[in-house]
Chains A and B, each alone.
Chain A
Amino acid sequence: MSEETAPFIASRPTPAVVPAQIEGASYGDRIYRWATLGFALVIPSLLLLIGVEVFRAGWPAFKAFGFSFFTSSAWDPVNGSFGAAPAVFGTIVSSILALIIATPLAVGVAIFLSEFAPNWIRQPVAFFVDLLAAIPSVVYGLWGVLVLVPFIRANVMPFVKDTLHLGDFPLFTGAAYGPSMFAAGCILAIMVLPYISAVTREVLRAVPRSQREAALALGATRWEMIWDAVLPYARSGIVGGVILGLGRAIGETMAVTMVIGNRHELSASLFQPGYTMASLIANEFAEATGDLHVSALMAVGAGLFLVTVIVNAIARWLVWRTARVGGGT
């Protein structure tokens, strides 16, 4: 450490003029440096500890079922056989569904607010969109149970099945329960929308004025200017916002549990009940009996941890790639 600080002090303009002061300052610097280093290390080590602990607790389940834990869809506490495939599948499908619904909406809202909206409408609309993020997820869940799910059951499902005659299409088969993967996707879409929208708005605002003026000067319409000059410039930032939303969607528990139907089954149909990893843990942990059951839930937790890490890695790579290809600067 002293080897590192010595040249630093030496490189300062007045190294040896007031030694006492320098010594005191370097002492303070050192404390400050070590303190901040400590703080910085606390977070990663906390993450590491959580990961290790969850994997350790889930180890008996991994040992008992091997890799089939993530490919089997048997979740049978009576006979002690556990497979988390439906929950992993449900987590990924509901999150992707949410992004498919939310991304165009959120980006659209952001484009309108940053490019088209007059000032008097921009402020309040932005405020309300941001407010969506402040609503507790259990409130979303209640709204889902009382409003969204009955609406889907009474209107959306009969419309798709009977009016459009798509009841035999694999995405829409099965009894119309109401709670379903589709309902979970819808509610997640509303929950992640403010995150994507807020980030996109900031990114669009950061696009230099010259970029817009240059496009307009070349004779572009307002729409062409946004589509060809502003959006490509902002692309990596928008992808970042989408990923932020994805992270929220993957981990969301309460609202999803209340509308997804909590069923251990792999089904291609969006109208069938499903499960997510987070809601599985939330539902079963308090009443899990038997060591293997608890361990299986911990293993699901470890799986959720893994999925999050993988998704974040892919996201980082996407942002990096779009930044490079899109030519941010």
Chain B
Amino acid sequence: MRRISVAILASTGLALAACSSASDKKADSSKSAAGTTASSGADLTGAGATFPYPLYSRWVSEYAAATGTKINYQQIGSGGGIKQLQEQTVDFGASDAPMSDSEMVKAKGGPVFHIPSVVGVVAIAYNLPGVTQPLKLTGPIVADIFLGKITKWNDSRITALNPGVTLPNSDILVVHRSEGSGTTYVFSDYLTAISPAWKSGPGKGKELQWPVGLGERGNDGVAGRIKQTPGALGYVEMAFVKQNRLSSALMQNAAGQFVAPSDEAATAAADAAIAKLPPKTDYRISIVNAQGAGAYPISSLTYLLVYQHMSDAAKAKKLSDFIKWALTTGQKDASALDYAPLPSSMIPKLTARADSVATGSGR
């Protein structure tokens, strides 16, 4: 079902790309046409990341029930969300990776706010029949597995970390995403932070040149492949580990502890990273390999992207109210859906920022 919708969205993306490549005048007319069709029946429209979609869709329905404001959120991927925000075909975008400076410049509606909505957790999932206790792994080991330097499960570096665990003498079958994705961005952000060889090799991005492994489409594709293939290892969002009942590795954090992926551990990581930020931060930050005790090292903020100055004051008010609701009442939904809530220390600053959208005063 999801695959089909992806295919449909891909063709939509094609159409949009065609529009955007046309001359400015044409783009403007098609934009307004797209705007009216997309917003028919909805007060606000948004598009972007697939990863927070289950949470956003619950927010949308709860918010509609509570306030009567209808929001239409389409999960077209982070890249698509950024494109549509730039073209102003949606009222807000959503992305797992922050917009780059060059992407910010291309936004037609002026300065963009990044408002973190929830913390995402990327788990290292694997399939080793007969191994019952959770495997311990470190960042450098994971980097070397994905670099193709460690190829066997019973490699001495893995067995040294896991005494008492009998690991098979079989190939590690590496699984990664085949399409650009925020999950890949977070994972490669972590490997770049922890491994010089990774930094100078594949690097950080939504899509990489992978040294080894096979590509699967979507978190569900990767999780399904791991579940099906003994000896497989890959990275997926935490929710997919639980849904597919996969094993996930304990990852060593910056403090040297081995931490299982969990919402508390990810919130702790966000808390530790946020504490160091200056008050006027734009929140375009990475929280991988955070320092705090109990912090899970592969986690990230996922963002709502909104224009600082919206032309339509009524819409700005509605959007700002929704964001404030999501940052307060909405956070309670996060844990139930396997997302980590934002640290409570962030909330007042973020709601203040949401307020500045409403008045159009900016910051």
Q: Taking beta carbons and an 8 Å cutoff, which residues of A are in contact with B? A: 57, 74-79, 138, 141, 145, 149-150, 153, 175-179, 254, 257-258, 261-264, 273, 282-289, 294
Residues of B within 8 A of A289 (CB): 79, 82, 103, 180, 206
The 5 closest A-B pairs by CB, nearest first: A287-B180, A262-B215, A261-B214, A262-B178, A76-B209
Residue ID in chain B nearest A146 by CB atoms: B228
* B351 contacts partner chain A, Cβ-Cβ < 8 Å: no
Knowing A262-B216, A284-B207, A289-B206 touch, does A178 contact B77 (C-beta < 8 A)?
no
Of B10-18, B64-72, B235-243, B264-272, which stretch is located at the interface?
B10-18
Say what secondary structure dominates the interface of chain A: loop
Contact indicator A287/B79 (Cβ below 8 Å): yes
Known A285-B10, A287-B181; 18 more pairs at CB < 8 Å: A77-B207, A78-B205, A78-B207, A138-B4, A145-B228, A153-B229, A178-B229, A257-B178, A263-B210, A263-B214, A284-B179, A285-B13, A286-B9, A286-B79, A287-B79, A287-B179, A289-B79, A289-B180
Residue ID in chain B nearest A79 by CB atoms: B203
Residue ID in chain A nearest B203 by CB atoms: A78
Contact indicator B178/A286 (Cβ below 8 Å): no
Contact indicator A285/B213 (Cβ below 8 Å): no
Say what secondary structure dominates the interface of chain B: mixed
* B224 contacts partner chain A, Cβ-Cβ < 8 Å: yes
Digitize B17-30: 1 where CB-to-A-CB distance is under 8 Å, 0 elsewhere: 10001000000000
Contact indicator A283/B78 (Cβ below 8 Å): no
Residue ID in chain B nearest A273 by CB atoms: B214
**Minimum C-beta distance from A160 to chain B (A):** 15
Residues of B within 8 A of A141 (CB): 3
**Minimum C-beta distance from A279 to chain B (A):** 8
Tell me how many residues of B have a C-beta within 8 Å of chain A.
42
**Minimum C-beta distance from B107 to chain A (A):** 14
Contact indicator B80/A286 (Cβ below 8 Å): yes
* B173 contacts partner chain A, Cβ-Cβ < 8 Å: yes
Contact indicator B207/A262 (Cβ below 8 Å): no
Find the residue from B4, B181, B228 having the highest chain A CB count within 10 A. Answer: B228
Quick one: which of B6, B202, B210 contacts A286, CB cutoff 8 A? B6
Residues of A within 8 A of B151 (CB): 175
Digitize B78-118: 1 where CB-to-A-CB distance is under 8 Å, 0 elsewhere: 11101000000000000000000001000000000000000
Given the complex of chains A and B, what is the CA–CA distance between A261 and B207 in angstroms?
15
**Minimum C-beta distance from A10 to chain B (A):** 50
Could you name 16 residue pairs across A and B whose Cβ atoms are closer than 8 Å? A75-B209, A76-B209, A78-B208, A176-B173, A257-B217, A258-B217, A263-B213, A263-B215, A284-B207, A286-B80, A287-B79, A287-B180, A288-B79, A289-B79, A289-B82, A289-B180
Given the complex of chains A and B, what is the CA–CA distance between A261 and B215 in angstroms?
5
**Minimum C-beta distance from A281 to chain B (A):** 9
Residue ID in chain A nearest B13 by CB atoms: A286
Contact indicator A177/B79 (Cβ below 8 Å): no
Contact indicator A287/B215 (Cβ below 8 Å): no
Given the complex of chains A and B, what is the CA–CA distance between A138 and B80 in angstroms?
23
Residues of B within 8 A of A145 (CB): 224, 228
Contact indicator B7/A282 (Cβ below 8 Å): yes
Given the complex of chains A and B, what is the CA–CA distance between A282 and B13 in angstroms?
11
Contact indicator A286/B76 (Cβ below 8 Å): yes
Contact indicator B229/A177 (Cβ below 8 Å): yes
Given the complex of chains A and B, what is the CA–CA distance between A294 and B13 in angstroms?
11
Given the complex of chains A and B, what is the CA–CA distance between A179 and B214 in angstroms?
8
Given the complex of chains A and B, what is the CA–CA distance between A175 and B169 in angstroms?
12
Quick one: which of B13, B78, B178, B204 contacts A78, CB cutoff 8 A? B204
Given the complex of chains A and B, what is the CA–CA distance between A267 and B53 in angstroms?
37
**Minimum C-beta distance from A296 to chain B (A):** 12
Residues of B within 8 A of A286 (CB): 6, 9-10, 13, 76-77, 79-80, 179-180
